[in-house]
Amino acid sequence: MTNDIDDDSVTRALRRGLSIGPARADAAALPLEGAQALALAGYLDGSLTPAERSAVEAELLLAGGHLELLLASRDALAADPAGPLPSAAVLQRAQALIPNIRPAARRRGVAGWLRDSFARPLRPALGAAALALYGLFCLQVFDWGLAGGEILTAATATAADTASAETVFALALDDLM
Partner 1 sequence: MGAGSDRELADLLGGDKAAWDAFVRAQAPVIFAAVRRRLLPAGRDADCEDVVQEVFVKLCRGDFRLLRAFDPAKAKLSTYLTVIASSSAIDHLRRLKAPTETLEAQPEGTLAVPPQEPSFLTIPEGLLSPRQALVIELLYRQDLLPGEAAEIIGVDPQTVRSMHHKALTKLRKHFAENSHDGEG
What is the footprint of partner 1 within residues 3-22 (CB under 8 A)? Answer: 3-7, 9-22
**Binding region for partner 1 (CB under 8 A) out of 73-81, 145-153, 154-162, 164-172:** 73-81
Question: What b/e string do you get for 27-54 counting C-beta neighbours within 10 Å, with b at 16 or more?
Answer: eebeeeeeebeebbeebeeeebeeeeee
User: Which one of 25, 28, 93, 172 is in contact with partner 1 (CB under 8 A)?
Assistant: 93
- Which of 99, 121, 124, 145 is close enough to bind partner 1 by CB under 8 A? 99
Q: Residue 129 interacts with partner 1 (CB under 8 A)?
A: no
Among 28, 74, 117, 143, binds partner 1 (CB under 8 A): 74
Q: Kindly give, in sequence order, each residue whose CB lies less than 8 Å from that of residue 70, ignoring residues fewer than 6 positions away.
A: 40, 43, 44, 60
CB 4 within 8 A of CB 10: no
Measured between its terminal Cα atoms, the distance across the chain in Å is: 136
Residue from 25, 28, 57, 170 binding partner 1 (CB under 8 A): 57
